[in-house]
Amino acid sequence: MTSIDTPQSSFEGLDISPVVLKALIEIGYEAPSPIQAQSIPHLMAGRDIIGQAQTGTGKTAAFALPILSRLDLTRRIPQTLVLTPTRELAIQVAEAFQSYARYLDGFHILPVYGGQGMQTQLRQLARGVHVIVGTPGRVMDHLRRGTLSLDHLTTLVLDEADEMLRMGFVEDVEWILEHTPSSRQIALFSATMPGVIRKIAERHLNEPAEIKIKAKTATVEAISQHYWAVSGMQKLDALTRILDAENFDGMIIFVRTKTETVELAEKLEARGYEAAALNGDMSQVLREKVIERLKKGALDIVVATDVAARGLDVERITHVVNYDIPYDTEAYVHRIGRTGRAGRTGKAILFVAPRERRMLRAIEQATKQPIKEMRLPTLQDIADRRIEQFRTQVNEALSNENLDFYVELMEQWVKDDMGEPVKLAAALSFLMHRDRPLAVPDEPEFPSHGRREYGERTYPDRMDRTDRREGRERGRDFNKVLYSIDVGREHGVQPRDIVGALANEGGISARQIGQIRLYDSYSTVELPSDLPDDFFAAVRKTWVLNQRLNLQRTEGANAGGGRRPPYRGNNSHDDANDAGRPPARRRPRREGFAPE
């Protein structure tokens, strides 16, 4: 084992490919973490390494960046294999690779794991991929079948080796190692270094550089930490509910990219919040102007990247929302440190997708605090807060304002028989809160029988054939047009996902979206007939569940015309209606793992 040299303090000094570096800058990476700074030079030089580091220290980028920088994209064969203990980690690592490789033309990566259809994996392997990320069991299956060859492998990564040991995969890993060329480079990462892992390293690694990163811990006792488990396309709706229900003064919302800061700030402004973006593309003058507005109370919410918010200290920031989970625990500590400063209290809220649970556990270890799961505020919670705020405003006006003119005006209106004082006050309250109602909608918050909520609307998940047939003629809006989209039940879509994509990306209200029907390979949705070109331009670039929407107007002038959408392949629910129609050709599946 050998020692390491002094690490670089910037990505520019690590000889990473310029196109990979461009993606890093766009994502918002500022400087390499310790494991990245110490691992990348060795991996770029082709050397084996042993990296001992906890989850949440940025080790995925530590091996992904040099691998992507050294790939030969002209050879569409497996050049890198990353072994992970679980399918969740395999998917997460593959997604990270894809984000770093966004400017690598023709790059293809494939996650392989049990529980996913073998035929899908076989098709992708036959087309050719550069990087395989998989669990040991499924990789062995492909090697035995002869559907995966490691003859040209240049790099093998063992990610979370101690976890693979705990799960009983050590013999499988050894078997896979024996099927790799002796000249391949190996990067072994593990949080701990038990004897069995050490023996594997001694048998299979060639004079590895050993890197050990001491886990940092941070205590943030003044900050109350909570997380919300993200589901589907509901992040923006969840955020607005939290904003409506929380008593906050100033807030920073963290996202990963500069583009997201602008997009989210604009969406919040459209919903009535005083919000602005803060990112590295803005001039220093403009950034200072945004911060000054936040300090003076002219702005309540700043949507920022990690880089732009470094060193930001504004006394009135009471809340930090991690809309996108950070890439490492150190970034999380920096983020929530924008509140709870100088003896003040603060609140941090973290949005966590199912695949990000590992990072949640790593953050809890780093902060030495459990992070409590929060209940999403209900419509009743929001109404109660608005009523309390209204009551406070009225009391302040009664105590502090000269109301003589308005008292005389109301007395005159009562004399003019415009109504009793209480009804006049009710009418004025209604007018004042027309855009932000104090009353809870009549429909139930979370319908319990086969329905899903999105915002203040509900949509049926399933309809039987009779309901579907009758629905063609009943309840139609003849000012709406019927469109089809290329995502359906087989992709796991729910109506709320479609509503979220169209409303959030297209900039329309959920109330403008009509009936949604889910079929096996596609869905249909009713939309207003007078949508602007901007809507279609935005939606054209939108993906849902790794499927491009490909919004297309169906045959027929409008949704009420009774015309069926074009036949898009077999659907077990509607076979009777499609009898005699020839099956349409299905578009070929996109290659690779994620949208290119």
Q: Are residues 203 and 262 in the same domain?
A: no
Q: Are residues 324 and 366 in the same domain?
A: yes
What pLDDT, in 10s, does the model give residues 486-498? Answer: 888 777 788 878 8
- What's the average model confidence in pLDDT over 391-406? 87
Q: Write down the pLDDT at residue 397.
A: 85
Domain hosting residue 135, numbered range: 11-212
Q: How confident is the model at residue 144 (pLDDT cuts 50, 70, 90)?
A: very high
Q: Are residues 166 and 274 in the same domain?
A: no
- What's the average model confidence in pLDDT over 362-380? 84
Number of folded domains in the chain? 4
Q: Write down the pLDDT at residue 581.
A: 35
Q: Are residues 257 and 318 in the same domain?
A: yes
Q: Are residues 385 and 366 in the same domain?
A: no
Q: Are residues 67 and 156 in the same domain?
A: yes
At residue 447, does pLDDT exceed 80? no
At residue 404, does pLDDT exceed 70? yes
Q: Are residues 185 and 116 in the same domain?
A: yes
In 3D, which of 218, 219, 196, 198 has the Cα closest to residue 208? 198
Q: How confident is the model at residue 576 (pLDDT cuts 50, 70, 90)?
A: very low
* Within-domain flag for 446: no
* Within-domain flag for 217: no
At residue 474, does pLDDT exceed 50? no
Task: State both tokens at 130.
Answer: 């550069």
Q: How confident is the model at residue 216 (pLDDT cuts 50, 70, 90)?
A: low
3-state secondary structure of 276: strand
Q: Write down the pLDDT at residue 172.
A: 92
At residue 426, does pLDDT exceed 70? yes
Q: What percent of the chain has pLDDT over 90?
A: 31
Task: State both tokens at 400.
Answer: 């502090």
Out of 167-181, 402-416, 442-456, the most confident range is 167-181
What pLDDT, in 10s, does the model give residues 255-298? Answer: 988 888 999 999 898 888 899 999 878 887 888 899 889 988 88
Q: Are residues 388 and 363 in the same domain?
A: no
Stretch among 3-7, 164-168, 342-346 having the lowest mean pLDDT: 3-7
Q: Is the pTM of the predicted complex or chain greater than 0.75? A: no
Sheet-wide strand order for 523-528? 516-518, 523-528, 480-485, 552-553
In whole angstroms, what is the distance from residue 253 CA to residue 260 CA? 11
Q: How confident is the model at residue 152 (pLDDT cuts 50, 70, 90)?
A: very high
What pLDDT, in 10s, does the model give residues 307-361? Answer: 777 767 788 899 999 999 887 787 888 888 888 765 677 899 999 988 788 889 8
Q: Are residues 125 and 153 in the same domain?
A: yes
Q: Which residue has the higher pLDDT, 189 or 509?
A: 189
Which CATH number belongs to the domain containing residue 17 in this structure? 3.40.50.300
* Within-domain flag for 592: no
* Within-domain flag for 594: no
Q: Of the candidates 212, 235, 257, which is a domain's last residue?
A: 212
* Within-domain flag for 389: yes
* Within-domain flag for 531: yes
Q: How confident is the model at residue 125 (pLDDT cuts 50, 70, 90)?
A: very high
* Within-domain flag for 332: yes
**What sign for the dihedral angle of Cα 390, 396, 401, 404?**
positive
Q: Of the candidates 345, 373, 401, which is a domain's last residue?
A: 373
In 3D, which of 515, 519, 507 has the Cα closest to residue 478? 515
Q: Which residue has the higher pLDDT, 152 or 334?
A: 152
The contacts of residue 156 (CB under 8 Å, 6+ apart) are: 80, 81, 82, 83, 177, 180, 184, 185, 186, 187
The residue whose two tokens read 């949507």 is 303
Q: Are residues 353 and 415 in the same domain?
A: no
In whole angstroms, what is the distance from residue 35 CA to residue 496 CA? 40
Q: How confident is the model at residue 135 (pLDDT cuts 50, 70, 90)?
A: very high
In 3D, which of 510, 515, 496, 380 has the Cα closest to residue 445? 380
Q: Write down the pLDDT at residue 595.
A: 33
Q: Write down the pLDDT at residue 343.
A: 62
Q: Write down the pLDDT at residue 75.
A: 92
Which CATH number belongs to the domain containing residue 468 in this structure? 3.30.70.330
- What's the average model confidence in pLDDT over 565-583? 37
Contact 107, 73 (CB under 8 A): yes
What is the dihedral angle through the alpha carbons of 406, 412, 415, 421, rounded to the nearest 10 degrees? -10
Q: Are residues 388 and 270 in the same domain?
A: no
Contact 241, 376 (CB under 8 A): yes
Q: How confident is the model at residue 188 (pLDDT cuts 50, 70, 90)?
A: very high
- What's the average model confidence in pLDDT over 134-152? 93
Stretch among 122-136, 287-301, 455-469, 551-565 having the lowest mean pLDDT: 455-469
At residue 561, does pLDDT exceed 60? no
* Within-domain flag for 507: yes
Sheet-wide strand order for 250-254? 275-278, 301-304, 250-254, 317-322, 346-352, 223-229, 372-373
Strand partners, 3: none
Please give the single-letter amino acid code of residue 138: R
Q: Are residues 465 and 562 in the same domain?
A: yes
